[in-house]
Amino acid sequence: MEREQWDKYVAKARNATFLFYRDYMDYHSDRFEDHSLMFFVGNRLHSILPANIVGTTLYSHQGLTYGGLLMDINVTAAEVITLFQELNHYLRAHGIQKVIYKPVPWVYHQVAAEEDLYPLFWICKARLITRDIGTTIFMQQHLEWRKDRRRRLRRAQEAGIEIVRTNDFAPFWEVLETNLLERHQVRPVHTLEEIKLLHQRFPNNILQYNALLNGEVVAGMTFYLTQQVLHGQYCSSNDLGKANGAVDALHDYVMHHEFPDIPYMDFGRSTEGDGSILNEGLVAQKEGFGGRTICYDTYEWNP
């Protein structure tokens, strides 16, 4: 009953995406102790907070890129002030000593939804503890690509790079895992089996595009599609793809042919070390396509 009620609320919340459905949140339930909260006014579900708990700390769910209070169109600023006051009473009563809170970035809002930021400051006295740089394109402004990006796109076209959408994630995952291990000694956040499972659950939201050269996958991009945003979750290429501008061909195809009407394209974060280090090469690549900065913030407070 609670799962069904939760998902119905996510479907109508003005700042929710498919990441908040239980089928997405629970795929890694073995790694997190869920402590999501549902706020009621009488018998009416007013708002929800995806969360997990570690010891005496409540987190905006650590398995999600962003979180925070999810609200439908009827939730007002005054109500959210009262909600945070009541939330702090609840947290103290349950022995929770600290909260780590990640609001949903505004580009993902279908209607303005920053009511939570006001009581975070005035009621909770929350401290900004992390600020990450993300890069976003306002798609309808049709900003011109930087010269080096346009040059690589011409190289891809001359080489005969072909772009295809596919439901088979395995060939790209081999490129992705090899690249991440060789360059950064890390693995993707999702295993191949996990991304296949999530794609099966959300086939219209998790999309895979590959760049082929002579039938071989030389690069690929995995996208998360939400109501407002096309988010590049993964992007990688092998040496052959790099030499032939495969990533540029992927961006051109997806941006200009597949999703020209989407409001925003989000390239994700370009910061490391809890946001304190800017990967200048990575952010420069994203800026070459016309992207500019938005911030992903994390707050902390003691109830």
**pLDDT tens across 128-144, in order?**
999 999 999 999 998 89
Question: What are 218-241's pLDDT values in tens digits?
Answer: 999 999 999 999 999 999 999 999
Same domain membership, residue 160 and residue 119: no
Same domain membership, residue 166 and residue 113: no
Same domain membership, residue 146 and residue 93: no
Same domain membership, residue 106 and residue 183: no
Same domain membership, residue 282 and residue 144: yes
The answer to whether position 259 is within a domain reads yes
3-state secondary structure string across the chain: CHHHHHHHHHHHCCCCCHHHCHHHHHHHCCCCCECCEEEEECCEEEEEECEEEECCEEEECCCCCCECCEECCCCCHHHHHHHHHHHHHHHHHCCCCEEEECECCHHHCCCCCCCCHHHHHHCCCCEEEEEEEEEEEEHHHCCCCCHHHHHHHHHHHHHCCEEEEECCCHHHHHHHHHHHHHHHCCCCCCCHHHHHHHHHHCCCCEEEEEEEECCEEEEEEEEEECCCEEEEEEEEECHHHHHCCHHHHHHHHHHHHHCCCCCEEEEEECEECCCCEECHHHHHHHHCCCCEEEEEEEEEECC
The answer to whether position 29 is within a domain reads yes
The answer to whether position 301 is within a domain reads no
Report the CATH number at residue 266: 3.40.630.30
Q: What are phi and psi of 93, to 5 degrees?
A: -65, -25
Question: What are 173-194's pLDDT values in tens digits?
Answer: 999 999 988 887 789 999 999 9
Question: What are 40-82's pLDDT values in tens digits?
Answer: 999 999 999 999 999 999 999 999 999 999 999 999 999 999 9
The answer to whether position 271 is within a domain reads yes
- Per-residue pLDDT, 274: 85
Q: Which of 165, 98, 108 is nearest to 299 (CA)?
A: 98
Of the residues 73, 91, 125, which one is the last residue of a structural domain? 125
- Per-residue pLDDT, 181: 87
pLDDT higher than threshold 70 for residue 259: yes
The answer to whether position 236 is within a domain reads yes
pTM as predicted = 0.95
Same domain membership, residue 158 and residue 219: yes
Of the residues 125, 151, 185, which one is the last residue of a structural domain? 125
Look up residue 287 and give its two tokens: 């800026």
- The whole-chain average pLDDT of the chain stands at 96
pLDDT higher than threshold 90 for residue 258: yes
The answer to whether position 131 is within a domain reads no
Of the residues 125, 146, 173, which one is the last residue of a structural domain? 125
Same domain membership, residue 256 and residue 111: no
pLDDT higher than threshold 70 for residue 1: no
The answer to whether position 130 is within a domain reads no
What is the domain extent for residue 52? 2-125
Same domain membership, residue 213 and residue 96: no
Same domain membership, residue 227 and residue 207: yes
The answer to whether position 252 is within a domain reads yes
Residues in a beta bridge with 294: 134
- Per-residue pLDDT, 28: 87
Same domain membership, residue 276 and residue 183: yes
Q: Which residues contact 43 (CB under 8 A, 6 or more apart)?
A: none
Residue with tokens 């961006």: 251
Same domain membership, residue 199 and residue 76: no
Same domain membership, residue 57 and residue 199: no
Give mean pLDDT, residues 140-149.
Answer: 94
pLDDT higher than threshold 80 for residue 199: yes
Biggest distance spanned by C-alpha atoms of the chain: 66
Tally of structural domains, the chain: 2
